[in-house]
Amino acid sequence: MYDITLCLPSIFISEWQRIYKDIENNLGPIDSKNHLDIKWELIIVGPTDKDNTLAPKSNWRFIQDYGNPTRCVQIGSTVARGKLFTWLSDDCYIIENSLRFLIEDFISHGNQENEYVVRYLEYGTNGQCGSNADRYWTTGAHGALDKLKGLSRYKIIAPVGILHTNFFKRIGGFDCKFMHINMGCIDLSLRIQNLGYE
């Protein structure tokens, strides 16, 4: 059993080694009494053929699927062996120790029926987006959601989240009708809150 499963819907094989190393550097063994020994697995799901980009290791698997990213993460969740579950994108870079601190906090303080928001930054033509400002992580900060009638502007969203794998499965995981994974993640966050969880 692993402490966490990280699922990577991916089309870019060239990024797998780097992402694996980022996770390994974040969660690998450390010599400190102040940190947990975190056991993790990576599940990569996507349309490409598995190749030898990643050396054979017991903590990663590849599943070939030609569906959208939302469906790929949902498939990964069905075989996840971690107590906790999260997802990444294949163009992500993990800030040093950020993943470790988040997982340690969740293990120490997280409720079995809550979702943590994994904050992130994106870099694009408009510079840096994403934010540490709390408002950014609400439905009201995203224009595409304004078209949805009856949706509160103040609900918390987790475009990337971390939660107990069993809880993710029990509430149905992602609705794969949402081809864009962000919308599936927002839907999941709203369902969690509508069920009375945080």
pLDDT digits (tens, 9 = 90+) for 96-113: 888 999 999 999 987 899
Burial of residue 4 (number of CB atoms within 10 Å: 0-12, 13-18, 19+): buried
pLDDT band at 126 (very low <50, low <70, confident <90, very high): very low
Task: State both tokens at 196.
Answer: 């009375």
C-alpha to C-alpha distance for 16 and 89, rounded to whole angstroms: 11
Query: Using one digit for the tens of pLDDT, what is the confidence trace for 15-73?
Result: 999 999 999 998 876 666 777 889 999 999 999 877 667 777 789 999 999 999 999 99
pTM over 0.85: yes
* Most distant CA pair in the chain, distance: 52
Strands of 2-94 (E only): list them.
2-9, 40-46, 60-64, 82-87
